[in-house]
Amino acid sequence: MTLAALPTSVPACFEQVVERYPDRLALVTETAAWTYSELNRQANRVAHSLLALATTHSEPVALLMDTEAPMMAAVLGILKAGKFFIVLDAAAPDARLRVVLDDLQPRWLVVDPQHEAQARRLIVPPIPSPAGEAEGGIRIVPVASLLACPDDENPSLAIDGNAYLSIIYTSGSTGEPKGVLRTHRATLLRSLMTTDNPDHGEGQHFALLTSLTFGMGHYSFFRALLNGRTLHQLDLRQQGVASLPSWMERHRITMLRVAVSLLRQWLSLLEPGQTFPDLSLIQVGGEPLYRADVEQLRRHVAPTCIIRNVYSSSEVPAITQYVFPASAPVTGAIVPVGYGIADITVQIVDEQEQPVEPGQVGQIVVISRMVSPGYWRKPDLTDSRFAPIPGSPDLRLYRTGDLGRLRPDGMLEYIGRADALVKIRGYRVGLPIIESTLLTLPSVKQAAVAALPIPTGDSRLVAYVVPSTPSVTASDLRAALAETLPDYMLPSTFILLDAMPLTDTGKVDRQHLPTPGHRRPALAVPFAPPTTPVERALAELWAEVLALDEVGLHDPFLDLGGDSLLASQIVARAGGLFDVEVAQRDLFLTPTVAQMAALIGQRQVDSVDGQVRRLVEEVERLTDAEAEQLYDLS
């Protein structure tokens, strides 16, 4: 579809779909199955109710509801009334929701019965009655009262494509909620211009796995309903990821949109030989996709199943995409995210915002008509991340804060957030490269790598691994990585997990990855306590420097998390402790407490022998008179 052919607004587009497919199923949830005509009638009731409450257009309406059919009708009804919506995350702490509401300052909060008590906790004092105009504060509106309106005809309001459609609140890297504005035009572009076979919606079943609180749910909702598909909703929070495979088979899901981490979790649940022949399109994003992910995925889908690796953000609902069949070979550890879609220009810039050469890593900058207008009530933040394009009033520039690089053919590789590129011992290290290498190991099911600060001011690499075999050890993982990665890219610590913590959108929740403790890691060698005084003193020294509770007699230094900086501390202190010379290379040649104790013992013996030998040589050089004098003095 061309830009000129786009409908004027989301309600106008939806009503065209309803006119075309009135009897087709639009929604299937745990409690309802509505056709397009039924969903449209319910949305119209909401719209007329809101117009009766307040004729003001372009104002925010918040929703605190379960992702069920009434909520979806309310979203469409809010848009039909010329307003824009915000879906609050009911699972978020009340304190965060109050911050969002304080920033949003809506007049209306639409609730279902399950969340009315929560709404009253959030709003002090509450205004419960939906009748009349609010004199200040937030009015709580039960969704049942909106759906009770008898008028179910289309309101047919004229809505401009640049009008606000929604606000998505995201914390980003700061932890402070910020509201990303989205427009009707950007949503239409995202939903209609990246869709396969838009005229063949019958039999197309789209999965909705996240709330409309998040961009991923927002996208799935509009892409399905603006193209005449059937949207199937599954509450993963309540049902759990373990329910996903059987649910997909039961509803014959053809399109699945998931974050990469959720994809890995889903794949880990599948039995060998379990396939999904109905799945024709799987779209992933949010994190780097690795070749190992694709190789595992192709075992469970048809060769013709299309994989779409997408790069997007809350601020730009679509940036690039790389589309290929599951049977296609993948070269390179990281799957590229492709080329800019229609109406998107992508640049890679350095810290001075100057373009870099192909192959160099820099910040991804986007220029498009789909760029968000900015952040709700945050003009300074908007000005720092967005910029107009002189001479092109419809275009805007957005600084993503993400890292990427362009291949010589113009294809984009997404590296990750700016903190995914770190310095370790003076080297620039890309964390996704280590993660992708871990995921190529047969013993690894899921992996994440973080760079954590240490007291010296440097950082250490910590690998979080969900193993596919229970017997895997840190020694095994380190040895496998050492075959392909340089030593400065080897994690110093490996933490084995039963499962990765995930956000509500299915990404790895890096904020809740456990911090490394002081326990000795799982090694290939069993723990053996030191026995001699020298061994005990060395084990205590190693444990102190490595920040571990205990160190075994035969534990390899590197497998304990050691590196060259820690090695220099150990040899310096060991030399002073035992009054012998110990070089850093000695530690890497004798990398266990037992071996180092033997080395120190030998050097102590050599030192005594040397002293005796020197004394004998000095006596032998004495004259008879000097010897007699020495004897007399003694």
* 350 belongs to a structural domain: no
Residue 294 lies in a domain: no
In a domain, 571, yes or no: yes
Do 325 and 298 contact (CB within 8 A), yes or no? no
Angle of the 10-20 helix axis to the 69-80 helix axis, nearest 10: 120
Show the domain range for 575. 533-618
Local confidence band at 458 (pLDDT 50, 70, 90 cut-offs)? low
pLDDT of residue 65: 96
Q: What is the CATH number of the domain that holds 597?
A: 1.10.1200.10
pLDDT band at 574 (very low <50, low <70, confident <90, very high): confident
Whether 48 is covered by a domain: the verdict is: yes
Question: Would you give the end-to-end CA distance of the chain in angstroms?
Answer: 108
How far apart CA 34 and CA 13 sit, in angstroms, is 18
pLDDT value, residue 172: 54
Say if residue 594's pLDDT is above 60.
yes
**Burial classification of residue 199, based on how many CB atoms lie within 10 Å of its CB (0-12 exposed, 13-18 middle, 19 or more buried):** exposed
Least confident of 92-101, 166-175, 427-436, 471-480: 166-175
Is the model's pLDDT at 611 over the cut of 50?
yes
CA-CA distances (angstroms) from residue 133 to 109, 122, 128, 147, 191? 13, 20, 12, 19, 35
Segment (H or E) for 616: helix 593-620
Q: What tokens appear for 449 in the block?
A: 């790598």
Q: Counting beta carbons within 10 angstroms of the beta carbon of residue 393, is it exposed (0 to 12), middle (13 to 18) or buried (19 or more)?
A: exposed
Among the residue ranges 369-383, 385-399, 481-495, the one predicted with the least confidence is 481-495
Confidence at residue 164, expressed as pLDDT on a 0 to 100 scale: 96
Give domain status of residue 629, yes or no: no
Of 130, 159, 188, at which residue does a domain stop? 159
- Look at residue 200 in the predicted model and tell me its pLDDT: 46
Residue 379: inside a domain, yes or no? Answer: no
- Domain of 143, CATH number, reads 3.40.50.980
Q: Is it the case that residue 363 has pLDDT exceeding 80?
A: yes
123-180: per-residue pLDDT in tens?
A: 866 555 554 444 458 999 999 999 999 999 999 899 999 999 999 998 654 557 899 9
The secondary structure element, H or E, covering residue 388 is strand 386-389
In this predicted structure, the answer to whether residue 18 has a pLDDT above a threshold of 90 is yes
Of 239 and 104, more confident:
104
**Which of 23-32, 463-472, 576-585 has the lowest average pLDDT?**
576-585
Cis peptide before 125 (omega within 30 of 0): yes
Lowest-pLDDT range of 44-53, 209-218, 344-353, 421-430: 421-430
The helix (H) or strand (E) run that includes residue 48 is helix 36-53
Q: What percent of the chain has pLDDT over 90?
A: 45
What is the domain count for the chain? 2
Closest CA to 202 of 3, 26, 12, 453: 26
Last residue in a domain, options 159, 175, 210: 159
Sequence letter at residue 539: A
* Final residue before a domain boundary, out of 159, 182, 202: 159
**DSSP character at residue 93:** -
- Residue 345: Cβ within 10 Å count: 13
Q: With cut-offs at 50, 70 and 90, classify the pLDDT of residue 268.
A: confident
Q: What is the pLDDT of residue 133?
A: 44
Residue 9 lies in a domain: no
The pLDDT tens digits for 395-416 are 999 999 988 889 888 899 887 7
- What are the tens digits of pLDDT across the range 133-142? 444 589 999 9
For residue 513, pLDDT over 80 is answered with yes
In a domain, 164, yes or no: no
User: Which tens digit of pLDDT belongs to each residue from 48-100?
Assistant: 999 998 767 789 999 999 999 999 999 999 999 999 999 999 988 888 899 99
Using alpha carbons, select from 282, 284, 288, 290 the residue that is nearest to residue 331. 290
Q: DSSP characters for 173-236?
A: TTSS-EEEEEEHHHHHHHHHTT-S-TT--TT-EEEE-S-TTSHHHHHHHHHHHTTTPEEEE--H
Q: Which pLDDT does position 371 carry in this prediction?
A: 92
Q: What is the mean pLDDT of residues 207-216?
A: 90
pLDDT at 134: 43
Task: Please say if the pLDDT value at position 620 is more than 80.
Answer: no
Say whether pLDDT at 377 is over 90.
yes
pLDDT reported for residue 196: 46
Per-residue confidence (pLDDT) for residue 388, from 0 to 100: 93
Q: What is the mean pLDDT of residues 558-574?
A: 79
Query: Quick count: other Cβ atoms within 10 Å of Cβ 312?
Result: 23
Q: How far apart are CA 393 and CA 139, in angstroms?
A: 37
Q: Which residue has the higher pLDDT, 471 or 144?
A: 144
Residue 596 CA to residue 54 CA, distance in Å, equals: 80
> Are the C-beta atoms of 233 and 274 separated by less than 8 Å?
no
Question: Quick check: 199 pLDDT over 50?
Answer: no
For residues 210 and 241, the answer to whether their CB atoms sit within 8 Å is no
Res. 201: pLDDT tops 70: no
**Short-list 264, 283, 270, 326, CA closest to 301:** 326
* pLDDT, the chain, mean: 86
- The pLDDT score that the predictor gives to residue 320 is 93
